[in-house]
Amino acid sequence: MSAAAEVAPGLERLTVPQPIADGHGTAVAPVPTRTGLSLIFPCYNEAERLPQTLAAYLARLSREPGAVEVLVVDDGSTDETFAVARAVAARDHRVRVIRSQPNHGKGFGVRTGVLEANGELIVFTDADGSYGPGEVARVTAALADAPVAIGSRPAGWATGPPARRLASRLFNRAIWAVLGLPFGDTQCGLKGFRRHAALEVFGRARLDGFAFDAEVLFLARRLGLAISEVPVRAEERDGSKVQLVVDALGMVRDVLRVRRWAVSGDYDRAVHQAADTCSTVTLGAELGRAAEPG
C-alpha cells in the first residue's frame, strides 16, 4: 500500500468512480467528483511548528490532481504563521491558505476551513502535529462506514499533565449531563466528515472557542448522523493554547449556550455560509502552480 493510500484510503473510489448504468442498461461516464480529501489545519501563532507538520503530511499525501487539498486557516496570528504558510503554498499546489483577522478562536478557524473546503471527505486536525498521518488515516478510513468519524484517546494512551487530563474528563462528564453526548473524548482535535454531513453541521455551528467540538457533535446527533469513534494516539506538544481554568469555565458556559440555542430553535433556522463568517484572503492552488517549474 502506498503512503498516500494509507493516509487517505478510498480516494481512488472518489476520484476515479466506476461507470454507472443510465437506467436502460447502458454504462455512462459518472459525474466528475470534487477533490477527494480536504485536510484542514486551524492555526494561531504556529509559525515554529507548522512547517514541520506540513512537511510530514505533504510527504505522505497523494500528488494526483484532484486527490487532496490542504487548507491552512490562519486565524488572526500575530507571528509569522501566514508568511510561513504562504511560502509552503508557493511551492506546493495542494496547499491553500485562508487568513482571517482578528483572532476569533479555534472553532471559528475550523468552521471557516470546512465551509471553504472542496473535498468529498473533510478532516481537520491540529497544526502542532500532535496527531500524525497514521492517526488521520484511521479517521479517514472510518468515513467509509459513517458520515462522521471522531478521534478518541483511550485512557491508557492519554498524554499531558495530570491536571489537564482530569479537566478533560470532568468536561466530558459535564457535556454528558448537559448535552447527552455519550462519547469518551469530545475534545480530541481530530475529526472527519463526509461532505454533506460537514456542510449540514458546520452550516449551523456558532461557537468560536474550544467548546465547538461539543457543539459539532451535538448537532451531528441532532441531525441523526451516525458517528464512529476511532482510537487514536496523540503526542504531547509544548505550547498548548489552552488556559486550564479560564478556558474550562468558558467551555462550560458555551455548552450551556448550545443547550439554550437548541431549546429556542436557533439551530433550526438559517444555515451560515463561509462568506457570512469572515472576510478572508485565500492563496493556494493558483499560486502553487505559478511557482512550479515548467
**Any idea which of 115-119, 181-185, 251-255, 281-285 has the lowest mean pLDDT?**
281-285
Between 93 and 5, where is the model more confident? 93
Q: Give the integer Cα–Cα distance in Å for 71 and 116.
A: 9
Torsion of Cα atoms, 100 then 130 then 71 then 230, to 10° = -120
Q: How far apart are the first and last CA of the chain?
A: 30
pLDDT of residue 250: 77
Mean pLDDT, range 35-40, rounded to an integer: 96
pTM of the model: 0.79
Band of residue 185 on the pLDDT scale cut at 50, 70, 90: confident
pLDDT reading at 294 higher than 80: no
Band of residue 28 on the pLDDT scale cut at 50, 70, 90: very low
pLDDT of residue 265: 92
For residue 68, the SS3 value is strand
For residue 75, the SS3 value is strand
pLDDT digits (tens, 9 = 90+) for 219-242: 999 999 999 999 999 887 665 555
pLDDT reading at 186 higher than 80: yes
**Percent of the chain scored above 70 by pLDDT?**
70
147 cis-preceded (ω within 30 degrees of 0)? no
Bridge partners (DSSP) of residue 96 are 71
Are 237 and 129 a contacting pair, CB within 8 Å? yes
Q: Give the integer Cα–Cα distance in Å for 122 and 265.
A: 27
Q: Give the integer Cα–Cα distance in Å for 69 and 279.
A: 21
Torsion of Cα atoms, 25 then 29 then 30 then 33, to 10° = 180
**Percent of the chain scored above 90 by pLDDT?**
58
- Extract the runs of DSSP E, i.e. beta strands, from the chain: 20-21, 27-28, 35-43, 68-75, 95-100, 119-124, 148-152, 191-194, 227-231, 281-283
Between 5 and 85, where is the model more confident? 85
pLDDT of residue 58: 97
pLDDT of residue 160: 54
Instruction: Give exposure, 263-291, as e/b (b: 16+ Cβ within 10 Å).
Output: eeeebeeeeeebeebbebeebbbebbeee
Bridge partners (DSSP) of residue 149 are 192, 228
- C-alpha 53: how far from its chain's center? 15
